[in-house]
Structure 1
Amino acid sequence: MISLLYIWLYSQSFHSHVAHLYAHFGYPSAQHIVGQRYLKGAGVVKDEEMAMHWFRRASQQDHPQASFNLAVGKVKNMTGSMAVGDIEMLLHVAVRQGIQEAQELLENVIWTKSKPLPTKRMGSFL
């Protein structure tokens, strides 16, 4: 009875504990949930670095939303160094699973990558 009262009163915290347990066991959906909780500060102290850690672990198991979130984190500089090719790979995982936002971001990354770099002009102004 006391455990049910605890769950009712502290459902946010209880859910975090359960998600962490399954995340540590290697379940990619739980790892993604834990990442989301850290990103938003839901039931835990907000920590973008920890969020990216859990997104990275879930994306290593091809979790599409975690792959997308990790790529977005890189674009927003929430992660450590990551090459553009790595971002594209993460986005491709998400696109294959039908995440529309990933398709749009992937197209934007490819378009930006294909743009020529501006060159510095020397000489007179016209």
Structure 2
Amino acid sequence: MSYEDVSTFEINKAVAVTLGYLVKTEYEEGRSGFTEKYHEQYPNTIWAAKTDERGQQCEAWEQMNFCANPEEAWPVIIVNNIIITPRPKSHIGKPRAESWGPEAYSSVCDDNSGLLRAAMIVFLQMMQLKR
């Protein structure tokens, strides 16, 4: 599957599910903060909750955006040995995220602001092969 054309919201959702989080997929007015108005204001942020070894929710719902928040993305990047390479505007070539090993994965972006999204795409590509 090519993730390059998938929305950032869907990439965030796929990363959370792959990591074992429960993810809200429908608006729940008054129950979690994930309302239609919230989604319009923050279209790429998901609501997710950690689960225990049985897959049961064990922590409160929280807002997550792996493609924009380094605090959430960095553990995924480190554990999976994903390399991010920013580029100055004057440099030839585009910023990219990649992983090397038995299989190589790569995702490029238009500017440095898309590096975390590119890294999450590489993570999803890596996990797709493991399935």
> Rg larger in 1 or in 2?
1
Higher RCO by CA contacts (8 Å cutoff, separation 6 or greater): 2
Q: Which structure shows the higher strand fraction? A: 2
Q: Which structure shows the higher helix fraction? A: 1
Alignment TM-score, normalising by the size of structure 2: 0.24
